Amino acid sequence: MSVPPVAPMPRRARPGFHPNVAVTRAAAAVLWAIVYLLTLHGQRVLSTSDIPLLAGLLLAAYPVIDAVASISGLRLAPDRAQLRAGVVIDGLAVIGLLIATLGLRTESVLIVFGAWAFASGLLQLTRAWRADRSRRVQLPLIISGGISAIAGIFFAATAAQHVAQLSTLGGYAVLGAVFFVGWSLIDRRARGRADAVVAHVHAS
């Protein structure tokens, strides 16, 4: 779950994210989840059967949201290596999900999506952890990254179940969006306080 960067400020660096982009990414994720869940239509899909084509294509499109958000901020990134790694992971996930959707079964789609959620979650957690020593501002992203990694393991594990738990993937997207919005609000407040302190120092 990555979004683009801005130039870091003293004492408190952003983990490669900009609040405006984070909110946009969250809105895109919620819209995606609505369309995805409507597409599933409450239908019962067996793990050993083919995934509904439109649902599979939507799952393949989801990592693109992360990739576009990361690419849009690479130019300003203080640490481009991790953002590039995230884009590569997103790209591999798209390819893997398309292959699983068009040529394999639903269980394969769940495994690939789970692997992507795990890898991208760990990457987000690491980046957020390194960005702020106090962990306070980045806490929503740290928690979100951890949840994503755990959810990835869960998604892959559910591939062994008789009935695929496809609707949980929509909930995953919505939960991630909530954490991104929460982080953007906390970050804006922290930046506002920091700017006020700097202005006060310059005025005195």
> What tens-digit pLDDT sequence spans the chain (204 residues)?
544 443 344 444 455 557 778 888 899 999 999 999 999 887 778 787 888 899 999 999 999 998 887 777 666 555 677 778 888 999 999 999 999 999 888 899 999 999 999 999 998 888 888 776 655 778 888 899 999 999 999 999 988 888 888 889 999 999 999 988 888 888 777 665 544 544 444 455
Indicate whether 121 belongs to any domain.
yes
Indicate whether 33 belongs to any domain.
yes
Residue 12 has phi, psi (to 5 degrees) of -140, 105
pLDDT of residue 16: 53
pLDDT of residue 200: 44
Indicate whether 9 belongs to any domain.
no
Indicate whether 84 belongs to any domain.
yes
Q: How far apart are CA 180 and CA 21, in angstroms?
A: 10
Residue-range definition of the domain harbouring residue 69 = 19-199
Indicate whether 142 belongs to any domain.
yes
Indicate whether 110 belongs to any domain.
yes
Indicate whether 177 belongs to any domain.
yes
pLDDT of residue 159: 87
Q: How far apart are CA 97 and CA 99, in angstroms?
A: 5
Task: Choose among 77, 113, 108, 92: nearest CA to 5.
Answer: 77
CA angle 114, 173, 111 (to 5 degrees): 10
Indicate whether 29 belongs to any domain.
yes
pLDDT of residue 135: 59
Give the chain's length: 204
Q: What is the pTM of this model?
A: 0.81
pLDDT of residue 37: 92
pLDDT of residue 4: 43
User: How many domains, the chain?
Assistant: 1
pLDDT of residue 27: 93
Q: How far apart are CA 141 and CA 61, in angstroms?
A: 22
